[in-house]
């Protein structure tokens, strides 16, 4: 009976998928890769197309192999990592929420702390990040209070900001201090534009990236928030939340919807060597679906 229920559930999900611009491969099905996690987040794709993601409450980073389809533990005691992204050197950059740091993790699992404070005070709790083609990094720093923190509240930042870290790792500064609670973030592959979700304001903003990491021309891209986000080569933005994955074009028009049978869909990225497998982290499970379009990261 349980198997029949699951088949009926996925059949219903398939019927609800909306694809107005033929973004999804013909006859592609949403497939559950693995379940049994506490809360999945932070998918980051390696050069080979494998995906590393976090099981945040269990304080570990998992690795899913595109070629074998198997999932294994990559790193225990992972600093309660949340959002992640690979840099050009193949290091996994992680928002290590335990001590409000940014880590660089090599392929052996050895970590280097890149950022642990700003002007002598801890960050609130780095949540997600994006690295431009030239190596600059943008980091969202909302304040979601954790029961494992023991710090003095006075030691944290005076607001929930968006930060910039230069490619040489020498300059670290806020580049937008007028956000309520920034979260998901992604940029265009040409390094010219940045999208930042602010669920606290129920908005997603678009910026122009200008000289020395500064941002200009902030405008509202969508009147909705998002947890994690990704982008395809056409410039369509994939957003997440309680309604699965929704897809919007450059004009902010909704052109697709992939419902996910979980309470919350946290994040999404493109996987595989061809970057045509959409990999989705959602509550206690991770999913995939084949696409016609390819991602850029």
Q: Tell me, rounded to whole angstroms, the distance of Cα 272 from its chain centroid.
A: 17
> Which residues 6+ apart lie within 8 Å of 148 measured at CB?
80, 98
Contact yes or no for 215/208 (Cβ under 8 A): yes
Check whether 128 is labelled as a binding-site residue: no
Check whether 127 is labelled as a binding-site residue: yes
- Quick one: which of 157, 126, 158 has its CA closest to 144? 126
- Quick one: which of 52, 53, 55 has its CA closest to 38? 55
227 in catalytic set:
yes
Structure tokens at 217: 């021309």
- C-alpha span between 77 and 98 (Å, rounded): 10
Contact yes or no for 129/138 (Cβ under 8 A): yes
Q: Which of 55, 128, 198, 227 is catalytic?
A: 227
Which residue numbers belong to the known binding site for substrate? 127, 147
Write out the binding residues: 127, 147, 183, 227
Q: Which residues are annotated as a binding site for a divalent metal cation?
A: 183, 227
Q: Which residues are catalytic?
A: 227
């Amino acid at each position: 009976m349980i198997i029949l229920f699951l088949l009926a559930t996925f059949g219903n999900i398939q019927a609800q998928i909306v694809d107005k611009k033929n973004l999804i491969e013909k006859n592609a099905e949403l497939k559950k890769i693995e379940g049994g996690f506490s809360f999945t987040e932070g998918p980051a794709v390696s050069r080979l197309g494998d995906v590393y993601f976090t099981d945040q409450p269990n304080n570990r980073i998992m690795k899913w192999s595109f070629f074998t389809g198997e999932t294994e533990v990559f790193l225990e005691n992972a600093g309660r990592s949340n959002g992640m992204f690979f840099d050009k050197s193949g290091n996994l950059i992680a928002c290590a929420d335990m001590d409000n740091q940014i880590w660089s993790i090599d392929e052996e699992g050895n970590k280097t702390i890149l950022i642990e404070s700003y002007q002598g005070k801890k960050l609130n709790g780095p949540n997600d990040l994006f690295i431009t083609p030239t190596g600059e990094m943008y980091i969202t720093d909302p304040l979601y209070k954790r029961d494992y923190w023991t710090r003095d509240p006075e030691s944290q930042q005076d607001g929930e900001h968006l930060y910039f870290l230069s490619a040489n790792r020498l300059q670290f500064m806020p580049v937008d201090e007028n956000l309520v609670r920034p979260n998901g973030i992604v940029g265009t592959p040409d390094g010219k534009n940045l999208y930042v979700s602010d669920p606290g304001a129920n908005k997603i903003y678009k910026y122009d990236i200008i000289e020395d990491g500064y941002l200009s021309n902030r405008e509202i891209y969508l009147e909705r928030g998002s947890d994690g986000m990704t982008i395809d080569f056409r410039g369509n933005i994939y957003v997440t939340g309680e309604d699965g994955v929704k897809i919007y074009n450059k004009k902010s028009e909704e052109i697709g919807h992939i419902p996910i049978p979980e309470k919350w869909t946290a994040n999404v990225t493109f996987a595989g060597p061809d970057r045509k497998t959409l990999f989705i982290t959602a509550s206690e499970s991770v999913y995939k679906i084949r696409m016609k379009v390819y991602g850029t990261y």
